[in-house]
A and B are shown apart, each in its own frame.
Chain A
Amino acid sequence: MSKTSRETILGKLHGAAQRDGDGAAARATVEGRLKGHPRGTVPARGKLDRKGLADLFATQATAVDATVARVSALDEVPAAVANYLRGENLPTALRMAPDPKLDACAWDRAPMLDISYGKARPADPVTVTGAFAGIAETGTLMLLSGPESPTTLNFLPDTHIVVLRAGEMVGAYEDAWDRLRATGRLPRTVNFVTGPSRSGDIEQTLHLGAHGPRRLHVIMVEDDG
């Protein structure tokens, strides 16, 4: 079935294209674009220095109902997490990504936090993950799947806390793609997360926390060493 449909569909598309000769020029154009992946216009708003990017990210993320806390070093993260949970009256049981970047946070300084590691389980109320990039343009987090960062941590809990380091900040989506290409791997899932979950499906009035997290809290670390 599908083999013949494949041939039929591609055959019709090929016929409609009406290319000259053997179509080598078209093939070269396509190959060139896939290899060169040229950028379109990138909005000027994200072309800023490091401080400017951090400020823009915080402004944009806050505008879409994320909350942002800014700390100066990684070892202040545990206290910032504890503060946030206390302020929101949330449980202190954390499900954390088994991410070596997060290990540097000196979690033993916040003994009240009850931390376990792994993918999210249905009853986990709060998760903590790192991020691959923060995109200042729209206050968007870029999160990659992998053994160190299971995707369920981003979607199952009521509250998702993300530790974002200054060196991970970029201006535009294209900058983030370039960084990902430089790693040489494309994971199964790349999530761009812009604020917490929301829906306006009942009479077009917006409410947070439809299926994903009700709260998204970003802890921005100004100095990532």
Chain B
Amino acid sequence: MSVHTPTSHRFPENAREALGNETLQRGLASAKVGFRIRRSEAAARLPEFETLRDESRDIKNHTLAHIDLYLEAFEKRVIERGGHVHWAADAAEARDAVLTICRAAGAKSVTKGKSMISEEMGLNAFLEENGIEPVETDLGEYIIQLRHETPSHIIAPAFHVLKEQVIETFRKEHTHLDPDRVIEEARQLQDEARQVLRERFLAADVGITGANFLIAETGSTVIVTNEGNGDLTQTLPRVHIVLASLEKIVPTLEDASTILRLLARSATGQEYSSYTTFSTGPRRGEDADGPHEFHVVLLDNGRTDLIGTEMQEVLRCIRCGACMNHCPVFGAIGGHAYGWVYPGPIGAVLSPSLIGVEEAHHLPNASTFCGRCEAVCPMRIPLPKLMRHLREREFEKGIPPATLRWGLAAWAWLAKRPALYGLAMRLPVRLLALLAGRKGRFRRMPLAGGWTSQRDLPAPQGPTFQAMWDRKGGRREASK
């Protein structure tokens, strides 16, 4: 379960299970509002917030238009500073690159900062198979590693885990600690993890982090954390490996600074995360600490196929999680139902793009198109539009069931014939209104069981929209 074999193809079943999972529902209910309030307050405190969103979108668009050149510049700087760059076309190549570095370092244990790329790579299971122990050090990642689970939220990986479950897990796993110790509060759990992981930090041979940004100007990699675990991970061991996907590149320190003003505000509603760290090469000659080796693994894993296509805009994503925090679908089912690394609206766009429409075609349909994700996305990614593209692709590939495709084809045929369409709408509307009687709604309806099993179907009231439009002179208004 800790390897990310996609289960996106069984999204409807996953979602049904999630809706029936009481523990998960309890967690979702208590967690989902805080992020939204804090984000909106943080945005309101910065008058330049909307301008910065425009500028950040433009920075990334410019970067993506020149990404080959910026990546070459980045690589050159890393090498000049004594670091190494490893290009990986897919997850398997990236895993091999990491293993080769770990073997050369004689590594027995590896500490890890939170990295979604590591999840994409399925790195932990691979290292274990090869006799190297990976230790997740972000508190949330540590909890789910002990529980053999995967992250359910990109910035709060243990979003789905209740405090009682953490207590149970720590009692079961931390067998070297006093079994009669008191751990009841989150504070005590955090202290216990701090104590246990401190030993692991000091013992690790290699530290692996992700990267929020790569800076072409300087060859630096950037991590953003609140816990400081990423910094201990990359400072204490002899070797520091950075896992990054190609689109993390930005041109300059100034460009990163502009986008960083959006990241924490959009994610947690903080003005700035506790720790933002720029790393450039290995330790210098006279330095008293820091790693002796610095490696950057650059992962493609399907991203080059998006450059220059209508899906390119998704590569502006900075992984803040705002879209999922504001998504009614994510709020109802949590992250695991999406069945791969990235949940929520960004996952609905990224997963079909990276692992294929065949595997993940359900995800772009799991949206009400309410538009909140786009409204809060700091990088102004038009997520609903991209989901629509993917729905079209799903249709073109003939993936939806025949009944649905025929239904859509019939509707399309009808919609192109206005007179007939008007008639076809008017008759059932009248009939339904008549049948519903005074109550105005249906408890049950043939062919609409999916709707009526959860709620009543309201009966149509008054004339059709088009009839009202005509009566109010809408068409004449529009043609003026």
| Chain A residues near B (Cβ < 8 Å) | 1-2, 5-6, 8-10, 12-14, 16-18, 26-27, 29-30, 33-34, 37-41, 43-45, 60, 63-64, 118-120, 122, 138-140, 145-147, 150-152, 154-156, 172-174, 177, 186-205, 207, 209-213
Q: Is B255 an interface residue (CB 8 A)?
A: yes
Closest 4 CB pairs of A and B: A212-B228, A16-B308, A201-B140, A210-B227
Given A201-B156, A203-B31, A34 and B251 contact (CB-CB distance below 8 Å): yes
Q: List 12 A-B contacts (CB under 8 A).
A: A34-B216, A34-B217, A41-B55, A119-B288, A174-B254, A174-B257, A190-B220, A190-B277, A191-B231, A192-B272, A198-B227, A201-B158
Q: Is B420 an interface residue (CB 8 A)?
A: no
Chain A contacts for B175, CB-based, 8 A: none
Q: How far is the CA of A5 from the CA of B47 in the complex (A)?
A: 44
In contact, B137 and A211 (Cβ under 8 angstroms):
yes
If A33-B62, A203-B186, A212-B231 are given as contacts, then 20 extra A-B residue pairs at C-beta distance below 8 Å, sorted by A number, are: A9-B71, A9-B298, A10-B71, A13-B304, A16-B304, A18-B308, A34-B73, A40-B258, A119-B289, A150-B288, A154-B231, A155-B231, A173-B257, A189-B235, A196-B274, A201-B138, A207-B186, A209-B190, A211-B137, A212-B228
Q: Who on chain A is nearest to B294 by CB?
A: A188
In contact, B138 and A177 (Cβ under 8 angstroms):
no
Q: Is B48 an interface residue (CB 8 A)?
A: yes
Q: Is B93 an interface residue (CB 8 A)?
A: yes
Chain B contacts for A8, CB-based, 8 A: 89
In contact, B280 and A187 (Cβ under 8 angstroms):
yes
Chain B contacts for A194, CB-based, 8 A: 270-276
Q: How far is the CA of A203 from the CA of B257 in the complex (A)?
A: 30
In contact, A30 and B190 (Cβ under 8 angstroms):
no
Name the one of B52, B87, B276, B279 contacting A188, with C-beta atoms under 8 angstroms: B279
In contact, B55 and A186 (Cβ under 8 angstroms):
no
Q: How far is the CA of A199 from the CA of B97 in the complex (A)?
A: 31
Q: Is B454 an interface residue (CB 8 A)?
A: no
Min distance, Cβ B138 to any Cβ of chain A, angstroms: 7
Chain B contacts for A187, CB-based, 8 A: 280, 284
Chain B contacts for A213, CB-based, 8 A: 228
Chain B contacts for A212, CB-based, 8 A: 227-229, 231-232, 274-275
Name the one of A10, A34, A190 contacting B278, with C-beta atoms under 8 angstroms: A190
In contact, A203 and B163 (Cβ under 8 angstroms):
yes
Name the one of A60, A63, A151, A177 contacting B254, with C-beta atoms under 8 angstroms: A177
Q: Is B212 an interface residue (CB 8 A)?
A: no
In contact, B229 and A9 (Cβ under 8 angstroms):
no
Q: Which of B194-202, B338-346, B355-363, B375-383 contacts A (4 or more CB under 8 A)?
A: B194-202
In contact, B216 and A199 (Cβ under 8 angstroms):
no
In contact, A43 and B55 (Cβ under 8 angstroms):
no
Q: Who on chain A is nearest to B197 by CB?
A: A211
In contact, B287 and A146 (Cβ under 8 angstroms):
yes
Q: How far is the CA of A172 from the CA of B227 in the complex (A)?
A: 23
Q: How far is the CA of A63 from the CA of B272 in the complex (A)?
A: 11
Given A40-B258, A155-B235, A201-B140, A189 and B279 contact (CB-CB distance below 8 Å): yes
Chain A contacts for B189, CB-based, 8 A: 202
Name the one of B31, B163, B287 contacting A150, with C-beta atoms under 8 angstroms: B287
Name the one of B68, B198, B252 contacting A37, with C-beta atoms under 8 angstroms: B252
In contact, B257 and A210 (Cβ under 8 angstroms):
no
In contact, A209 and B194 (Cβ under 8 angstroms):
yes
In contact, A122 and B253 (Cβ under 8 angstroms):
no
Chain A contacts for B87, CB-based, 8 A: 2, 5-6, 9
Interface centre among A1, A138, A145, A201 (most CB of B within 10 A): A201
Q: How far is the CA of A113 from the CA of B305 in the complex (A)?
A: 61
Q: Is B268 an interface residue (CB 8 A)?
A: yes
Q: How far is the CA of A139 from the CA of B274 in the complex (A)?
A: 10
In contact, A34 and B283 (Cβ under 8 angstroms):
no
Q: How far is the CA of A213 from the CA of B140 in the complex (A)?
A: 18
Chain A contacts for B279, CB-based, 8 A: 188-189
Chain B contacts for A207, CB-based, 8 A: 186-187, 190
Q: How far is the CA of A177 from the CA of B66 in the complex (A)?
A: 24
Tell me the residues in window 272-323 of chain B with beta carbons closer than 8 Å to chain A beta carbons.
Answer: 272-284, 286-290, 298, 300, 304-305, 307-308
Q: Is B266 an interface residue (CB 8 A)?
A: no
Interface 0/1 of B441-472, CB less than 8 Å to A: 00000000000000000000000000000000
Min distance, Cβ B394 to any Cβ of chain A, angstroms: 24
Name the one of A40, A64, A172 contacting B274, with C-beta atoms under 8 angstroms: A64
Chain B contacts for A139, CB-based, 8 A: 271
In contact, B254 and A197 (Cβ under 8 angstroms):
no
Q: Is B86 an interface residue (CB 8 A)?
A: yes
Q: How far is the CA of A160 from the CA of B117 in the complex (A)?
A: 32
Min distance, Cβ A12 to any Cβ of chain B, angstroms: 4
Given A9-B300, A118-B288, A145-B287, A37 and B253 contact (CB-CB distance below 8 Å): yes
Q: How far is the CA of A6 from the CA of B392 in the complex (A)?
A: 33
Q: Is B211 an interface residue (CB 8 A)?
A: no
Q: How far is the CA of A192 from the CA of B271 in the complex (A)?
A: 13
Interface centre among B35, B193, B226 (most CB of A within 10 A): B226
Q: Is B67 an interface residue (CB 8 A)?
A: yes
Q: Is B177 an interface residue (CB 8 A)?
A: no
Min distance, Cβ B448 to any Cβ of chain A, angstroms: 37
Given A30-B66, A203-B27, A212-B232, A138 and B227 contact (CB-CB distance below 8 Å): no
Q: Is B244 an interface residue (CB 8 A)?
A: no
Q: How far is the CA of A173 from the CA of B260 in the complex (A)?
A: 10
In contact, A40 and B217 (Cβ under 8 angstroms):
no
Q: How far is the CA of A33 from the CA of B278 in the complex (A)?
A: 20
Name the one of B52, B138, B281 contacting A41, with C-beta atoms under 8 angstroms: B52
Q: Is B59 an interface residue (CB 8 A)?
A: yes
Q: How far is the CA of A209 from the CA of B226 in the complex (A)?
A: 10
Q: How far is the CA of A188 from the CA of B216 in the complex (A)?
A: 16
In contact, B280 and A188 (Cβ under 8 angstroms):
yes
In contact, A60 and B283 (Cβ under 8 angstroms):
no
Q: How far is the CA of A174 from the CA of B283 in the complex (A)?
A: 24
Name the one of A14, A26, A40 contacting B59, with C-beta atoms under 8 angstroms: A40
